């Protein structure tokens, strides 16, 4: 069972003991991401994440920092999303004190050296180039640019080449000091730890005291017709992402939507995998998944399709969407529920997933459901619930489509979405 306490500086500390393992995962989540940015400072959250690994007074370089953690076989990294930023170290429990000391040092004492900032600009520009050169990775970004056009959710997490190159030390430190404060942070420690480790956590994570709240720039998607964006690229395979506006974290319909996504394209026995790949050989890779934010979300279908048969593959996908709006079978719903139960059980054997499970819920919802509580909500979903969600979500003429491949004519894709 987890425990939650609020530290004197308003940081929320979640502990999830798992004594049967030999590892511990320390995760720090900060409730700031690219949706808190504007066109001028686009990518600043992601840039800050990079700079946290560039050295402190105690560990003056990336090499000094990484040698300590590599020397004990620890896993360490960070990630930036649109709603939040995360930093973690996973290690053998006997090295947890080192993990606590290093992560606190990084987040509180990073130097933000001007030379490192200039050097890292080139690294981030190359990261942007890498994503844009990889259609399978970039098509989701392209879709969200289209779905959330005009809102920060539609902007790239990494920013633009121009915004990154223009960023100054003062810009970066000003943004960090605004958001890296007590009330905006959740720390989750999952795995095998003891009371001494908890005392070390409380002593070292001295983020500035604050009760300040940051209201988000909420979005309400109003889409009366389909949207199509093409990125011309001479590829052998076309990449498509088809998105439907859906639900936020806290929407009660999210559990029915999860099950619908599993049945549609969540695994190798799903409808889309079976029809598009196995029966008709139109794709190697096809899936559906949920992209969920604090105030909105989407169900997304992504696939790499034979470029000569994109239209027939898209027609088949649309046909499957029309079919699923008529309902799913009791057997499909039962299998989807068991699939989610099984995936949860497997994931939560890993302390990394365990920390993410509890920490993300606290950060984004302010309320934590245990795996057992979430499973009860999934169990309660009925065939009627899934049918209602399918009819609500799958409005083809209000969807968004991103396509990367050797195409220049939008109209043929728009015609598929009527």
Does residue 246 share a domain with residue 191? Answer: no
Domain assignment present for 275: yes
3 state DSSP class of 268: coil
* Confidence band, pLDDT 50/70/90 cuts, at residue 418: confident
Instruction: Specify the number of domains making up the chain.
Output: 2
- Mean per-residue pLDDT over the chain, rounded: 96
Rank 163-167, 234-238, 406-410 by mean pLDDT and report only the highest.
163-167
* Structure confidence at residue 107 (pLDDT): 98
Does residue 254 share a domain with residue 357? Answer: yes
Distance CA 120, CA 102 (A): 21
Does residue 232 share a domain with residue 199? Answer: no
Domain assignment present for 219: no
Does residue 77 share a domain with residue 25? Answer: yes
Does residue 372 share a domain with residue 279? Answer: yes
What b/e readout covers 46-79, taking b as 16+ CB neighbours within 10 angstroms? bbbbbbbbbbbeebeeeeebeebbeeeebebebe
Task: Write the DSSP string, 351-398.
Answer: HHHHHHHHHHHHHHTS----HHHHHHHHHT--HHHHHHHHHHH--GGG
3 state DSSP class of 85: strand
Catalytic residue among 20, 37, 49, 234: 49
Closest CA to 298 of 404, 201, 413, 399: 399
CATH code of the domain containing 149: 3.30.830.10
Does residue 274 share a domain with residue 348? Answer: yes
* Confidence band, pLDDT 50/70/90 cuts, at residue 222: confident
Domain assignment present for 401: yes
Q: What is the mean pLDDT of residues 212-227?
A: 84
Domain assignment present for 331: yes
Distance of CA 296 to the CA centre of its chain: 14
Contact 147, 227 (CB under 8 A): yes
Please indicate whether residue 373 is annotated as part of the active site.
no
* Structure confidence at residue 218 (pLDDT): 86
Domain assignment present for 220: no
Neighbours of 149 (CB within 10 A): 15
Domain assignment present for 215: no
* Structure confidence at residue 267 (pLDDT): 97
Does residue 333 share a domain with residue 269? Answer: yes
Does residue 109 share a domain with residue 250? Answer: no
Distance of CA 260 to the CA centre of its chain: 20
Beta bridge partners of 238: 305
* Confidence band, pLDDT 50/70/90 cuts, at residue 331: very high
Contact 29, 359 (CB under 8 A): yes
Closest CA to 264 of 245, 287, 292: 287
Beta bridge partners of 56: 110
* Structure confidence at residue 1 (pLDDT): 87
* Confidence band, pLDDT 50/70/90 cuts, at residue 300: very high
* Structure confidence at residue 104 (pLDDT): 98
pLDDT higher than 90, residue 398: yes
Does residue 103 share a domain with residue 46? Answer: yes
Does residue 241 share a domain with residue 135? Answer: no
Cα distance from N-terminal residue to C-terminal residue, the chain: 50
Strand pairing category for 227-232 and 297-306: unpaired
Sheet hosting strand 12-17, strand order edge to edge: 3-6, 12-17, 185-191, 23-30, 85-92, 75-80
Joined together, the tokens standing for residue 135 give 């259609």
Domain assignment present for 222: no
Distance CA 142, CA 144 (A): 6
Does residue 231 share a domain with residue 199? Answer: no
pLDDT higher than 80, residue 176: yes
Summarize pLDDT for 134-151 with one digit per residue, the tens. 999 999 999 999 999 999
Summarize pLDDT for 57-92 with one digit per residue, the tens. 999 999 999 999 999 999 999 999 999 999 999 999
Distance CA 36, CA 253 (A): 26
What is residue 10's DSSP assignment? S
Domain assignment present for 52: yes
Does residue 285 share a domain with residue 372? Answer: yes
Range of the domain at 266: 227-416
């Amino acid at each position: 069972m987890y425990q939650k306490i609020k530290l004197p500086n308003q940081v929320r500390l979640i502990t999830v003991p798992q004594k049967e393992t030999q590892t511990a995962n320390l995760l720090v989540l900060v409730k700031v991401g690219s949706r808190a940015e504007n066109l001028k400072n686009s990518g600043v959250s992601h840039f800050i994440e990079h700079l946290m690994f560039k050295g402190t007074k105690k560990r003056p370089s990336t090499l000094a920092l990484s040698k300590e953690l590599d020397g004990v076989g620890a896993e360490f990294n960070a990630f930036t999303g649109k709603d939040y930023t995360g930093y973690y170290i996973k290690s053998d429990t006997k090295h947890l004190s080192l993990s606590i000391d290093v992560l606190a040092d990084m987040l509180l004492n990073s130097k933000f050296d001007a030379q490192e900032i200039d050097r890292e600009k080139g690294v981030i520009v190359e990261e942007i180039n890498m994503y844009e050169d990889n259609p399978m990775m970039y098509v989701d970004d392209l879709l969200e640019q289209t779905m959330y056009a005009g809102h920060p959710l539609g902007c790239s997490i990494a920013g633009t080449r121009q915004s990154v190159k223009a960023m100054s030390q003062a810009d970066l430190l000003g943004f960090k000091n605004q958001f890296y404060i007590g009330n905006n942070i959740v720390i989750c420690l999952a795995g095998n730890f003891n009371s001494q480790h908890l005392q070390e956590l409380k002593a070292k994570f001295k983020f500035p005291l604050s009760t300040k709240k940051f209201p988000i720039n909420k979005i309400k998607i109003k889409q009366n017709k389909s949207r199509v964006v093409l990125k011309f690229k001479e590829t052998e395979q076309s990449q498509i992402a088809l998105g439907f506006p859906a639900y936020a974290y806290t929407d009660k319909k999210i559990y029915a939507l999860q099950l619908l996504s599993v049945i549609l394209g969540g695994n190798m026995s799903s409808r889309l995998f079976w029809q598009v790949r196995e029966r008709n050989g139109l794709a190697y890779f096809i899936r559906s998944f949920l992209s969920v934010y604090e105030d909105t979300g989407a169900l997304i279908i992504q696939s790499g399709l034979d470029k000569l048969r994109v239209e027939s593959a898209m027609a088949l996908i649309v046909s499957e969407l029309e079919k699923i709006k008529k309902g799913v079978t009791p057997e499909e719903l039962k299998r989807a529920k068991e699939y989610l139960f099984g995936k949860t059980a497997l994931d939560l054997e890993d302390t990394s997933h365990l920390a993410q499970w509890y920490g993300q819920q606290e950060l984004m919802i302010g309320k934590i459901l245990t795996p057992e509580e979430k499973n009860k909500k999934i169990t309660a979903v009925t065939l009627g619930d899934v049918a209602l969600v399918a009819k609500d979500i799958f409005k083809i003429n209000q969807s968004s489509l991103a396509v990367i491949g050797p195409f220049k004519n939008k109209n043929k894709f728009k015609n598929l979405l009527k």
